[in-house]
Amino acid sequence: MKIFNDFKQFLLRGNVVDTAVALVMALAVFAVVTALIKDLITPIIAAMAGKPDFSALTFEINKSAFMYGDFLNALITFFLTAAAMFFFIVVPMNALIARSRKEPPADPTTRKCPECMSEIPVDARRCAFCASEVRGK
């Protein structure tokens, strides 16, 4: 019974659930981008090549067919999926993280000596480097 409890605890951990949700969302985005490429983008490219179906673009060498249209479909799908993930997920998340990491400026603990420009404590009355008197803060 302990193994089932451990397995249940593993499944209900936040990172496992988050990963599962991310995978489902990624597959949904991939399906949308694939449909966009298959139904809209590649027919335009195929029309320029004079073929009714982009995936039908092939060439032959020694009676072996090379279906470069299918490969180009997959390549375009990959790049557009990567671009969609980058611009709609990575960029907004980076901006959100950067916005939340703004820390208030720390109180200065040092200042520059007016004579030698060395860093000295704020409360110092004499510079430890040049021994000149330092007035005020």
Structural domain count of the chain: 2
Mean pLDDT value of segment 44-59: 74
Q: Residue 137: what pLDDT?
A: 58
Q: Which own/partner pairs from 22-25 qualify as long-range (CB within 8 Å, at least 24 positions apart)?
A: none
Cα 61 to Cα 3, 33, 58, 68: the distances in Å are 58, 32, 10, 13
| 71 and 22 in a common domain | yes
Q: Residue 14: what pLDDT?
A: 67
* Average pLDDT for the chain: 81
Residue pLDDT, tens place only, 8-44: 777 777 677 778 888 898 888 888 888 887 788 777 8
Q: Does position 54 have pLDDT exceeding 80, yes or no?
A: no
Beta bridge partners of 120: 111
Q: Residue 105: what pLDDT?
A: 67
SS3 110: strand
Can you give the residue range of the structural domain that contains 132? 106-137
Are 36 and 80 contacting, i.e. CB atoms less than 8 angstroms apart? yes
| 96 and 110 in a common domain | no
Q: Tell me the pTM.
A: 0.49
Measured CA to CA, the distance from residue 42 to residue 55 in angstroms comes to 8
CB atoms closer than 10 angstroms to residue 113 = 19
Residue pLDDT, tens place only, 67-90: 887 887 788 878 877 887 788 888
| 112 and 63 in a common domain | no
Measured CA to CA, the distance from residue 60 to residue 111 in angstroms comes to 76
Measured CA to CA, the distance from residue 73 to residue 56 in angstroms comes to 11
